[in-house]
A and B are shown apart, each in its own frame.
Chain A
Amino acid sequence: DSGVTQTPKHLITATGQRVTLRCSPRSGDLSVYWYQQSLDQGLQFLIQYYNGEERAKGNILERFSAQQFPDLHSELNLSSLELGDSALYFCASSKTSSGYEQYFGPGTRLTVT
């Protein structure tokens, strides 16, 4: 158990809908990272927050957004969902902003029908 929690574990929704994925980092970790894992694209970095501020951005679609709250939990919002958004979404956390020693949560499996 990495200490990172993610909810929900599974999510099934229809095209065009909006969903919110939630992540709680390990105790003491200030950075939260979001990754998308799919068979064709592999494990792709989406976005990083450090102590409430956006720190680094990857190939995150404009339909996706994230935020980190004062209690350090983070939410990833996915809107106008398409079939291609079906994937595993992982949250990771680390103590610092450097990206070293990232600990991953169990993931949320999103299925868009």
Chain B
Amino acid sequence: QQQVKQSPQSLIVQKGGIPIINCAYENTAFDYFPWYQQFPGKGPALLIAIRPDVSEKKEGRFTISFNKSAKQFSLHIMDSQPGDSATYFCAVDAGGTSYGKLTFGQGTILTVHP
């Protein structure tokens, strides 16, 4: 059972562009929505996260937009740089008795051309 669907699978932008990665979830019980960044040969690194009581969160060039009614959340990368080229994963955390059980999307491979 796929609880979170991520799109697109891959994305290519030019330096300075604003890539947008989307995730849709099914269960309204989720209460924590993180994004992770993974470089080749490394473990995923927590980038930014949002709780469902806010609609937007910014940290540096990274912004999460959250639409509770549509059960969707997205990652925007402002002024993208070649160093942002990586795989990005959204995730959901069920909370409650399932604390700790992050369910990840399938990932988006982002390439930023100089």
Q: Which residues of A contact B (CB under 8 A)?
A: 2, 4, 31, 33, 42-45, 48, 50, 55-56, 58, 90, 92, 94, 97-107
Q: How far is the CA of A102 from the CA of B92 in the complex (A)?
A: 12
- Closest chain B residue, CB of each to CB of A4: B43
Between B36, B97, B100, the greatest number of chain A beta carbons within 10 A of the residue's beta carbon is seen for: B100
- Give the contact-size bracket for chain B: 20 to 34
Residue of chain B at shortest CB distance from A99:
B100
**Does B54 sit within 8 A of A, measured CB to CB?**
no
Residue of B41, B42, B44, B101 near A43 (CB, 8 A) is B44
Instruction: Please tell me if the beta carbons of A42 and B104 are within 8 angstroms of each other in the complex.
Output: yes
Nearest B-chain residue to A48, judged by Cβ = B100
Q: What residues of chain A lie closer than 8 Å to B45, measured between beta carbons?
A: 2, 103-104
B99:A97 contact, CB within 8 angstroms: yes
Q: How many Å lie between the Cα of A22 and that of B32 in the bound state? A: 28
Evaluate contact between A99 and B102: CB separation under 8 angstroms. yes
Given A42-B106, A42-B107, A43-B89: A99 and B46 within 8 A (CB)? Answer: no
Q: Please, which residue of chain B has its CB at the minimum distance from the CB of A97?
A: B99
Rounded to whole angstroms, the CA-CA distance of A90 and B100 in the bound complex is 14
Contact assessment for B103 and A2 in the assembled complex, using a CB-CB cutoff below 8 Å: no
**Secondary structure type dominating chain B contacts:** mixed
Partner of A55, one of B36, B44, B100: B100
Decide if B69 is an interface residue (CB 8 Å cutoff): no
Cβ B99 vs Cβ A55 within 8 A: yes
CB nearest neighbor in A for B43:
A104
- Identity of the chain B residue whose Cβ is nearest the Cβ of A32 in the assembled complex: B100
Partner pick for A33 among B36, B100, B105, B107, CB 8 A cutoff:
B100
19 residue pairs of the A-B complex, CB under 8 angstroms, read: A33-B102, A42-B107, A43-B44, A44-B104, A45-B101, A48-B99, A55-B99, A55-B100, A56-B99, A56-B101, A98-B93, A98-B95, A99-B95, A99-B99, A102-B46, A102-B100, A103-B45, A104-B43, A107-B43
Pairs A-B, 3 closest by C-beta atoms: A104-B43, A99-B100, A48-B100
**Cα–Cα, bound, A74→B106 (Å):** 26
CA distance A53 to B20 in the complex (A): 39
